[in-house]
Amino acid sequence: MTMNQHPADASNQVLGLARIMRRAFGGDDLTSLAEQLASRITRDPDDAAAILDMSTILQIRGHAKLAAEMQWQALSMRQHYTLSSHPQSASKQSASMRLLAIMSPGDIMANTPVEFLVEDSDIALEYLYLGRGLPAPEQLPSHDLAFLAVCESQANQELLAHLSDVKPHWPTPWINSPSAIARLTRDGVPTLLWRIPNVMVSDTQRMAREEVEGLVHFAQYPSDLFPIIARPVDSHAGFGLQKLTDAVDITNYLRDHDDREFYVAPFIDYRSQDGKYRKFRIVVLDGQPMAAHMAVSERWMVHYLNADMLSNAEHRAEEAHFMTTFEDDFAVRHRPALTMIDQRLGLDYYSIDCAETRSGQLIVFEIDNGAVVHSMDPVDIFPYKLPQMQKVFAAFRRLLNKHRQPRRAVA
């Protein structure tokens, strides 16, 4: 089988998630950009790059079904794309490295948003989409190093298994292991981290709908089983995540969610002494933990965008302190735990969403390779974040250079 190739022209060059999301993050409703892309598609219905960028806009706007249809339309025409050069970036011809991101079809959470890590750099980023229904390429795009961007999900397990077989025969080195990513299920991570000293992980169970319904019986009697948290399998960013305290909560939750499988775990009350919840995102590159962000909230379900970091100067000052002291404080206190976690995972690049108990244990909520690690926050409000993100980006560059072998790029 062959991959449907087009000449190297504008139809191969995408704006990409980072550039589109940066505009949306800055307050742009993306209407004008969508109109420009629609005009391109009208002029040339085979402009696969414009169709792919339009699908990204639709995802950001919440039109998941239409976005998936447009993405598949684009991938049916072309599986190989190039991130278009930013005016401040090097062109593909002058790039110091050609990095090939191995991608899967899916929503924004299906792949590592690697373009945030190489923005405005001299690294030329290419994308190759693989997966069920897409033909295997007879020839690979020219590149120096491959980055496995595919994230763990039920939909991606088959692809990750296939890539585990493909990887030993690939002509260039890879960043990240398909088999290691496949283990990062919400119920698999607790097993991976079992009995690491000073690490607490919820005993997450994957349950069929009927099993969750069965919990109603236990909720009618006093027990230490509740509260629990439940979420649909493959959900992210808090979608469908809810704390359930009794039988009524379970019944109402199942009424509102028609999914067939859920992840269920004991609720961990991780409030600090002042009653607030603090959640950290750590990014680990080649074994080196680095601060990505810290969110402080009155609510237990903490996400950076729903915490009041933008309006609360006290919380921003706390995040600034976390970032500036991370290497000498947080990373030192949790070094043995983080080192053992890294050894068990066997990954080159990943993130950890975590917190701390009042006694100082590390609480691990989630480990994956798909977190958005970015520098989009306004510098005038978050002056401390850009220097920290630049450190992360520099560490990512060192990771690429370490794994890149001094060989001719595959063509």
- Specify the CATH number of the domain 277-403: 3.30.470.20
Q: What is the pLDDT of residue 239?
A: 87
Q: What is the pLDDT of residue 238?
A: 82
Kindly indicate the confidence band of residue 410, based on its pLDDT and cuts at 50, 70 and 90. low
Q: What is the pLDDT of residue 7?
A: 41
What would the pLDDT profile of 272-304 be if each residue is shown by its tens digit?
A: 999 999 999 999 999 999 999 999 999 999 988
The CATH-assigned architecture of domain 206-266 is 2-Layer Sandwich (3.30)
From the list 263, 220, 278, 270, the residue with the least C-alpha distance to 245 is 220
Q: In whole angstroms, how far apart are CA 145 and each of 18, 173, 401?
A: 21, 6, 9
Kindly indicate the confidence band of residue 308, based on its pLDDT and cuts at 50, 70 and 90. confident
Give the separation between CA 97 and CA 325, rounded to whole angstroms: 33
Distance of alpha carbon 59 from the chain centroid: 15
What would the pLDDT profile of 84-99 be if each residue is shown by its tens digit?
A: 975 444 455 578 999 9
Give the separation between CA 135 and CA 132, rounded to whole angstroms: 8
Kindly indicate the confidence band of residue 143, based on its pLDDT and cuts at 50, 70 and 90. very high
- How much of the chain is helix, strand and coil, in % rounded to 5? 35, 20, 45
Kindly indicate the confidence band of residue 235, based on its pLDDT and cuts at 50, 70 and 90. confident
Give the separation between CA 302 and CA 347, rounded to whole angstroms: 26
Q: Which residue has the higher pLDDT, 347 or 216?
A: 347
Q: CATH 3.30.1490 in the chain, residues?
A: 206-266
Is residue 406 helix, strand or coil?
coil
Q: What is the pLDDT of residue 6?
A: 38
Mean pLDDT of 89-118: 88
Mean pLDDT in the chain? 93
Give the separation between CA 51 and CA 66, rounded to whole angstroms: 11
Q: What is the pLDDT of residue 11?
A: 58
Judge contact between 277 and 300, C-beta under 8 A: yes
Give the separation between CA 65 and CA 55, rounded to whole angstroms: 10
Q: CATH 3.30.470.20 in the chain, residues?
A: 277-403
Q: Which residue has the higher pLDDT, 238 or 173?
A: 173
Q: What is the pLDDT of residue 2?
A: 32
Q: How far apart are the first and last CA of the chain?
A: 18
Is residue 183 helix, strand or coil?
coil
What would the pLDDT profile of 324-371 be if each residue is shown by its tens digit?
A: 999 999 999 999 999 999 999 999 999 999 999 999 999 999 999 999
